[in-house]
Chains A and B, each alone.
Chain A
């Protein structure tokens, strides 16, 4: 057992703090984590304070007698800043994005009460890949969470995606000599085509299907949604 915001949380051998918290029905904000995949620990949104030190809940092992803070003003401030940085680093034009309303980055922004992006915008120049007949890759919206990399490698067994470069030069690359999706064996039935938390990888001809007011995060928070999914074992891709 450990203590999370004053609540006693049981854990199993091998659990991370995220695993144990989710099982106990406590939401820790996250973007690069999905319980089905090996944690990656890159977005840092899940930062919690463990015995006085900041750690990523999705990678940090749960241990007996830890004192963990999650839903504190200080941590939510840090998360808000991280979310604002994710917005300014990409090109997020939500009004014209097919994922809008169902996007976890938006969802986290809503949950944290983000009203503006605070920082000057980068407006980076990124390559769009519309070559594949069924799948669009819009790098403007990629937050480099690597979920598509893991899904393609670990579930589809295809290794279609990788993240290349470091720091601000990191980008999502496609494993084909041409660098184009049409030259890979990625298919719209693949897990990798449905795992993207944002609108960077989307299946074509499925945009704007739910009207405003009936989309995933119009009334329900991303926290409620992710706990609900965890409970039912139902994954995002089975819903869209």
Chain B
């Protein structure tokens, strides 16, 4: 048998909906486990990629400095980087804040918002700095493939990964391409 594939996944500014949808491949995950190992992923709780990963799936866009750091680290380790879902591809719903000044967002959420108790803007040193705007990941690193959808369906993940694993250029039929 050919060498086993290493697959890593991570979430940046996303909602984990793409990961949930990925898990909707249900029992097919056993077939996947026959050919692939999961590396860094919230599914394995491994925090950093091993040196060379074959396929890296990234959900979510970039909303803070830590997202950018994670993305760069991920790109370095992954031979094939895949932008998964609307947020990774065009910023998605988090990018709806791009029309509002960051300061106004923070004020509304933590100071002036309805029913705010003990108003203060969180500023712990542990908190990553917010970016002025939310960005899709292709604006920062090279992305090899895109899986659109909010989230992409389990069948979309399946089609894509089985195409790749069998050495074919991944291609999605009409029914599996959608932007919502």
Please list the residues of chain A having a beta carbon within 8 angstroms of any beta carbon in chain B.
Answer: 87, 91-97, 100-101, 106, 109-111, 113-118, 120-121, 123, 125, 212, 218-219, 221
Chain B interface main SS type: mixed
- Closest-by-CB residue of B relative to A101 is B180
Partner-binding segment picked from B20-28, B66-74, B84-92, B117-125? B84-92
Contact with A along B133-154 (1 / 0, CB 8 A): 1011011000101111010000
A111 / chain B contacts, CB cutoff of 8 Å: 174
Is the Cβ of A116 less than 8 Å from the Cβ of B138? yes
| Bound complex: CA A111 to CA B174 (Å) | 7
* Residue of B98, B99, B150, B177 touching A95 (CB-CB under 8 A): B150
Q: When A93-B95, A94-B150, A123-B95 are in contact, do A116 and B179 touch as well, CB less than 8 Å?
A: no
Closest CB in chain A relative to B171 CB, distance in Å: 8
Residue in A95, A100, A114, A218 with the greatest tally of chain B CB atoms within 10 Å? A95
Closest CB in chain A relative to B2 CB, distance in Å: 27
Q: When A115-B148, A121-B90, A121-B91 are in contact, do A94 and B177 touch as well, CB less than 8 Å?
A: no
Is the Cβ of B174 less than 8 Å from the Cβ of A93? no
B90 / chain A contacts, CB cutoff of 8 Å: 87, 92, 116-117, 121
A100 / chain B contacts, CB cutoff of 8 Å: 179-180
Is the Cβ of B89 less than 8 Å from the Cβ of A95? no
Contact with A along B109-130 (1 / 0, CB 8 A): 0000000000000000000000
Q: When A116-B83, A116-B148 are in contact, do A94 and B99 touch as well, CB less than 8 Å?
A: no
Is the Cβ of B180 less than 8 Å from the Cβ of A95? yes
A95 / chain B contacts, CB cutoff of 8 Å: 86, 92-93, 150, 179-180
Is the Cβ of B179 less than 8 Å from the Cβ of A221? no
Residue in B92, B93, B96, B174 with the greatest tally of chain A CB atoms within 10 Å? B174
Q: Is B175 at the interface (CB under 8 A from chain A)?
A: yes
Q: When A106-B179, A121-B136, A221-B174 are in contact, do A93 and B99 touch as well, CB less than 8 Å?
A: no
Known: A117-B89, A123-B91, A125-B99. 17 other contacts (CB 8 A): A91-B96, A93-B93, A94-B86, A101-B178, A106-B179, A110-B177, A114-B177, A115-B145, A115-B147, A115-B148, A116-B83, A117-B90, A121-B135, A121-B136, A218-B178, A219-B175, A221-B174
Is the Cβ of B92 less than 8 Å from the Cβ of A116? no
Give the top 7 A-B pairs by smallest Cβ distance, nearest first: A95-B150, A116-B146, A94-B179, A115-B146, A123-B98, A94-B180, A100-B180
| Bound complex: CA A117 to CA B87 (Å) | 12
B96 / chain A contacts, CB cutoff of 8 Å: 91, 93, 96
Query: What are 9 A-B pairs with beta-carbon distances under 8 A?
Result: A96-B93, A100-B179, A113-B177, A116-B90, A117-B89, A123-B98, A218-B175, A219-B174, A219-B175
| Bound complex: CA A95 to CA B148 (Å) | 11
Closest CB in chain B relative to A87 CB, distance in Å: 7
A109 / chain B contacts, CB cutoff of 8 Å: 177, 179
A117 / chain B contacts, CB cutoff of 8 Å: 89-90, 136
- Closest-by-CB residue of B relative to A121 is B90
A97 / chain B contacts, CB cutoff of 8 Å: 180
In B53-95, the 8 Å CB interface with A consists of 83, 86, 89-93, 95
Contact with A along B154-180 (1 / 0, CB 8 A): 000000000000000000101101111
Closest CB in chain A relative to B51 CB, distance in Å: 28
* Residue of B99, B147, B174 touching A110 (CB-CB under 8 A): B174
Residue in A87, A91, A92, A121 with the greatest tally of chain B CB atoms within 10 Å? A121
B147 / chain A contacts, CB cutoff of 8 Å: 115
- Closest-by-CB residue of A relative to B148 is A115
Closest CB in chain A relative to B165 CB, distance in Å: 19
| Bound complex: CA A172 to CA B99 (Å) | 19
Residue in A91, A92, A219 with the greatest tally of chain B CB atoms within 10 Å? A91
